[in-house]
Structure 1
Amino acid sequence: NTTNDIYKHTLSIMKFVIVLCLFGLALGAPRPQEEEAVVLPDEDIVEAILEEVVKTAVEAAAPPLVAAPVEAEVPPTIDAAPVQAVIKTKAEGEPVVVLLQETSPVIGAVFTHELQLDNGIAETRSGSEGPAGTSVMKGSYTIPLGNGEVATFNWVADENGYRVESPHLPIAPPAPAHVADLLRIAAEQRAAGITFDGQGSRVQA
């Protein structure tokens, strides 16, 4: 395999390099008065040392073998199905069918309009003449809620503004006690002819 090839190749190179180094040291050593024969180390000893060095280097360079993690099997949990109210609604993408749509001709401020859809939404609207040439409109609309209930809103639009009545509208909290005192003071000032400008400063008579 690849590891064995690397091992053999490295062993050959290092063996050659070490032999050259030892030979160079032997040549460079000071010579005695009488020439002595250069004694090189035994080839078997050099080879044994090289094998040990290369083996250590290869083992250090090789990636450690890590056992694959064993995942414990966890039994699947069974979640209880949530209890939901059964509400009849239109499927997504299903067209809404108009059950009733009638609008009378508009004569001045007088008209009637009625609309009913098969998803529970309904609307009625009518107009009439109001005082001093004004018009009065009133009507109602019904919307099915997600909890199975139906919300109905009745409204009127006349010279007093737009007003809506429904038990599904939020109720404002009661006004603090000092508000009643401020309203009483304002009424007394108006009765006394005291007025204020847009900046809140009193207008001198």
Structure 2
Amino acid sequence: ALQRTQRPSDIPTLSTMKVLIVLCLFGLALGAPRPQEEEAVVLPDEVAVEAPVEAPVEEEAPPLAAAPAAAIDTAPVQAVINTKAEGEPVVILLQETSPVIGPVFSHTLQLDNGIAETRSGAEGAEGTSTMTGSFTIPLGDGEVATFNWIADELGYRVESAHLPQAPAAPAHVAEQLRIAEEQRAAGITFDGQGFRIEA
């Protein structure tokens, strides 16, 4: 049996392989889907209208602070926004909104199903915005849950008697805190691993 030996000219060179890879990538690019080009719509002569097109006149808007303040609407708005559980429409009894001037605003909403909300904004420390508000929700047992909140540079905080409360610390925790305070007063110190540092 004859054994064929490969000559150096039969082995593809590195530059030939690079050319083949580039050609493959080029072929992939040609075969890739392209975004659809918009086709020009040509209207028949009888439909086409030749009219001069004028550019719209753009007027510069006055600065926000110079805008006149809108009056606060205090009249009850009779608008259906949702339905009650019984299928009756919910009606807005009161809706007051002041104009927003920078961070300053106020908004009040009261619905006939007992839901109410108020919120207001004011300038906070160092140019930040501070917002406060509350919302009231009737509970199924006739009780009303009220939530008061504030959002400022310290974060968002909510207070309500209806929020879950952490349980009181067990007695052994209070005892450990008392012992630690006595040790601090006596000048006893500990390292980061809880071992006493002898002075």
Q: In which range does the TM-score fall when normalised by the shorter chain?
A: 0.3 to 0.5
Higher strand share: 2
* TM-score, with structure 2 as normaliser: 0.44
* TM-score, with structure 1 as normaliser: 0.43
Larger Rg: 1
> Comparing both chains, which one has the higher relative contact order based on Cα–Cα distances under 8 Å and sequence gaps of 6 or more?
1
